[in-house]
Chains A and B, each alone.
Chain A
């Protein structure tokens, strides 16, 4: 059996069974080549579907909870089980591993298992060990067990493997003989961290999954219902029930889906995405009702299904005695800050509901010298509390999730599979930098108050080839430049390949308006990019 994927216009093997592997087929090989190798063997080819694989792995992980209380998915093809404390139930670790292997065999899953004192050790032995089932009993044996394995067993990237191969280090044992200081200097801290994780010198977390029931309610009618008033009433009642269930689970709804299952036609859905978790039925119904009213009932609705697509734990709010009665000098009550988080969410949700998700945004700085990419806009609905948003105090100034903390609970509450979420690097980039770095990342140079969506070409006369402009024609305006400042040179990042640089000038035209113009050094073309208004 071969798993095939289309890559660069051709089909390539991304996985194969043991029989094919024994014949010399390996991932990365073209399908034509693989078929040629397996010319005398009947080949079954399946299209590789990574999403389906991940989903199946997720289901298998949930099934494996019968063997260990903590199970984690190690994409793309692994599972991590924390067996600590379970050995008595299975008469020792060896029997435990055998029981898991037997269970997987019954499912016709030819898995490779390894048990070890550390995640890194077990990972390496399972993938690169000689046997299908390996047990490393204590930390003292880790180095010995890992020594004959290739350095890839330490979960290091291909570049690092290549660098090690350049100095003839191909086995873990050879690597462990090299002084640690030299490793850091030559190959970076990442390699040392992986070694320490494998040997147990550094703790390593795994991200466990937690099964949970979805937060959903439904109602089935005795016959098709064609009256929208009945549907509205039903949705309203279901919403109350859903919020009661959410209260029982101590969480709030952040995403909602209403599905009307109709007779003889496909179901129709309404989805809501909220900017904050809430259990306010009034707020949700205000957003939901106009959408439900517009739904087409077809030949009648048989069932109404209401589901929370996202749920989060509600922020604890300190109640204050009589705060509403005590007016501070500023005219604001003491409870305003905590109430502000919810009232802001209500405002954003209402704005988004009418104008769309992309019409309500916020801005955050990102690390870039180029003025047009120094800030990024993101939907206000997606904003989280990591930068002290919503007027609520932060528990962690760096905006990180604490271990096994609220993010885990949030995902579990909504019925999602994985409980610990780590924000990816591009996501973090899009949301802006950490608080302590944001001000430092910004240039101290003056910038205009308005930046045009795209720089507008201008014609300029300069007295010197690289000098400041003395005459400017742009957007129907022409005249002498009265005064100016500059240049300020801004270069685009060379590692991104463009390698262009600009010389910026601040110039004042005859009307007294200050414009921000620049000359592209490579082309000599002038542009107006902004102004002080």
Chain B
């Protein structure tokens, strides 16, 4: 009897269910552009608008980054636990996520490490600051609980959380919640945890450029860079196969606009080709700009 009733209801709403499924699939596949053209091109249009994305911060270091420790920090720094979350980049992505929403929703920042200085959240208007909630949990479990709760709330558009000491089970739980709710969860983690297992859709490592990225021409006083810059390295992105392993880009903070953008290559002193061969500490010779095109697997 009950089965028949269920079948009747299914038949009655068959068209709607089909439409809703189609919408659901479409929503699942929707991408949100990062605003960084070459990165978007490699990702096949942008990051999926749902799921967990991990950003590994920069370890505090007294010297230029070395290849021994992730993020360019020394082991001593890792032990000491001092690291810098990539706040500018995360604020930029938060703006992208907020712009995506038609109806106003909220951004939840979980963990004191993730809290930006509020001025950095203002970009001509105060939408992001006005619609941000800052949560300061005491410990790892509270952070995990708060992130899960915030993801499940219909009022939020994205969640930014301090993911220090999160294990595989925790990231899987959060990733599934983010997928189900069609939201971004940006997890900020210390650089020495990039070797930990994770269920994140994408994993990014951020480090300071050091002085090795500045060529002789660039380091001259006439064309010295005046904006903060970071090297961003894609460690993993599900469904994306880059042409080279772990591609890198240079991002730059635009002081006037308050946005993070791809660092524009500089022309050499003699006017030759654009300076795209900025060297890195990587030994495989990958460059910061251009030639990172990848393809998104079906």
> Which residues of A are in contact with B by a Cβ distance under 8 Å?
325, 327-332, 336-337, 339-340, 343-344, 346-348, 350-351, 354-355, 359-365, 371, 374-375, 377, 380, 387-389, 391, 438-439, 442, 446-451, 475-479, 482-483, 485, 508, 510-514, 530-533
Cβ contacts under 8 Å, B65 to chain A: 511
Contact B104 A340 (CB under 8 A): yes
Cβ contacts under 8 Å, A331 to chain B: 23, 27, 30, 182
Contact B210 A362 (CB under 8 A): no
Contact B64 A510 (CB under 8 A): yes
Contact A511 B210 (CB under 8 A): yes
Contact B118 A375 (CB under 8 A): yes
Q: Which chain B residue lies CB-closest to A516?
A: B117
Q: Which chain A residue lies CB-closest to B73?
A: A511
**Distance of A477 Cα from B117 Cα, bound (Å):** 23
Candidates A350, A374, A380, A533; contact of B84 at CB < 8 Å? A533
Other 20 A-B pairs with CB < 8 A, given A340-B106, A344-B155: A327-B20, A327-B23, A340-B105, A343-B153, A347-B150, A361-B134, A363-B118, A365-B122, A365-B129, A374-B119, A391-B105, A391-B131, A391-B155, A446-B256, A475-B60, A511-B61, A512-B208, A532-B253, A533-B57, A533-B88
Q: Which chain A residue lies CB-closest to B100?
A: A330
Q: A363-B132, A439-B126, A511-B64 are in contact. Are A446 and B258 (CB under 8 A)?
A: yes
Q: A325-B16, A391-B104, A439-B122 are in contact. Are A347 and B62 (CB under 8 A)?
A: no
Size of B's binding interface in residues, CB under 8 A: 72
Q: A337-B103, A483-B225, A514-B228 are in contact. Are A359 and B135 (CB under 8 A)?
A: yes
Contact A328 B116 (CB under 8 A): no
Cβ contacts under 8 Å, A364 to chain B: 129
Contact B119 A347 (CB under 8 A): no
Contact B116 A355 (CB under 8 A): no
Contact A354 B119 (CB under 8 A): no
**Distance of A354 Cα from B149 Cα, bound (Å):** 11
Is residue B101 contacting chain A, with contact meaning CB distance below 8 A?
Answer: yes
Sample of 19 A–B contacts (CB below 8 Å): A337-B103, A340-B104, A340-B155, A343-B153, A343-B154, A359-B138, A363-B134, A365-B122, A365-B126, A371-B117, A375-B117, A387-B130, A388-B130, A438-B126, A439-B125, A447-B117, A449-B91, A510-B210, A533-B88
Contact B142 A476 (CB under 8 A): no
Cβ contacts under 8 Å, A478 to chain B: 62
CB A320 to nearest CB in B, in angstroms, measures 12
**Distance of A331 Cα from B31 Cα, bound (Å):** 13
Cβ contacts under 8 Å, B86 to chain A: 533
**Distance of A511 Cα from B87 Cα, bound (Å):** 17
CB B279 to nearest CB in A, in angstroms, measures 13
Cβ contacts under 8 Å, A514 to chain B: 228
Cβ contacts under 8 Å, A347 to chain B: 108, 133, 149-150, 153, 155-156
Q: Which chain B residue lies CB-closest to A347?
A: B153
CB B136 to nearest CB in A, in angstroms, measures 5
**Distance of A478 Cα from B224 Cα, bound (Å):** 22
Is residue B58 contacting chain A, with contact meaning CB distance below 8 A?
Answer: yes
Cβ contacts under 8 Å, A351 to chain B: 133, 135, 146, 149-150
Cβ contacts under 8 Å, A346 to chain B: 153, 155
Contact B211 A359 (CB under 8 A): no
Contact B102 A479 (CB under 8 A): no
Q: Which chain A residue lies CB-closest to B122?
A: A442
CB A19 to nearest CB in B, in angstroms, measures 60
Contact A355 B118 (CB under 8 A): no
**Distance of A337 Cα from B255 Cα, bound (Å):** 33
Is residue B85 contacting chain A, with contact meaning CB distance below 8 A?
Answer: yes
CB A476 to nearest CB in B, in angstroms, measures 6
**Distance of A377 Cα from B82 Cα, bound (Å):** 25
Q: Which chain B residue lies CB-closest to A483?
A: B224
**Distance of A373 Cα from B135 Cα, bound (Å):** 20
Q: Which chain A residue lies CB-closest to B154?
A: A343
B window 52-95: CB within 8 A of A: 57-58, 60-65, 72, 82, 84-88, 91
Contact B58 A328 (CB under 8 A): no
Contact A355 B142 (CB under 8 A): yes
Cβ contacts under 8 Å, A512 to chain B: 64, 208-211, 213, 229
CB A335 to nearest CB in B, in angstroms, measures 9
Bitwise, B197-226 to A at CB < 8 A (1) or not (0) is 000000000001111010000000000111
CB B252 to nearest CB in A, in angstroms, measures 11
CB B206 to nearest CB in A, in angstroms, measures 9
**Distance of A532 Cα from B229 Cα, bound (Å):** 9
Is residue B168 contacting chain A, with contact meaning CB distance below 8 A?
Answer: no
Is residue B44 contacting chain A, with contact meaning CB distance below 8 A?
Answer: no
Cβ contacts under 8 Å, B11 to chain A: none
Contact B137 A359 (CB under 8 A): yes
CB B190 to nearest CB in A, in angstroms, measures 13
B window 215-243: CB within 8 A of A: 224-226, 228-229
Contact A485 B226 (CB under 8 A): yes
Is residue B120 contacting chain A, with contact meaning CB distance below 8 A?
Answer: yes
**Distance of A56 Cα from B117 Cα, bound (Å):** 47
Contact A450 B155 (CB under 8 A): no
Q: Which chain B residue lies CB-closest to A439?
A: B126
Q: Which chain B residue lies CB-closest to A335?
A: B103
Cβ contacts under 8 Å, A325 to chain B: 16
Cβ contacts under 8 Å, A344 to chain B: 106, 153, 155
**Distance of A362 Cα from B121 Cα, bound (Å):** 13
Is residue B36 contacting chain A, with contact meaning CB distance below 8 A?
Answer: no
**Distance of A330 Cα from B255 Cα, bound (Å):** 31
Q: A438-B126, A483-B224, A511-B61 are in contact. Are A449 and B88 (CB under 8 A)?
A: yes
Contact B87 A533 (CB under 8 A): yes
**Distance of A448 Cα from B63 Cα, bound (Å):** 21
**Distance of A364 Cα from B100 Cα, bound (Å):** 23
**Distance of A367 Cα from B257 Cα, bound (Å):** 22
Cβ contacts under 8 Å, A337 to chain B: 103-104
Cβ contacts under 8 Å, B61 to chain A: 477, 511
Contact A450 B142 (CB under 8 A): no
CB B273 to nearest CB in A, in angstroms, measures 24
**Distance of A336 Cα from B167 Cα, bound (Å):** 34
CB A140 to nearest CB in B, in angstroms, measures 52
Cβ contacts under 8 Å, B253 to chain A: 532
Cβ contacts under 8 Å, B213 to chain A: 512
Q: Which chain B residue lies CB-closest to A328?
A: B102
Q: Which chain A residue lies CB-closest to B229?
A: A512
Contact A355 B146 (CB under 8 A): yes
Cβ contacts under 8 Å, A354 to chain B: 142, 145-146
Cβ contacts under 8 Å, B88 to chain A: 449, 532-533
Q: A355-B146, A439-B122, A512-B210 are in contact. Are A449 and B116 (CB under 8 A)?
A: yes
Candidates B85, B101, B132, B145; contact of A330 at CB < 8 Å? B101
Q: Which chain B residue lies CB-closest to A473?
A: B62
Cβ contacts under 8 Å, A330 to chain B: 100-103
Cβ contacts under 8 Å, A442 to chain B: 119, 122
Cβ contacts under 8 Å, B64 to chain A: 510-512
Cβ contacts under 8 Å, A343 to chain B: 153-155
Cβ contacts under 8 Å, A327 to chain B: 20, 23
Contact B62 A476 (CB under 8 A): yes
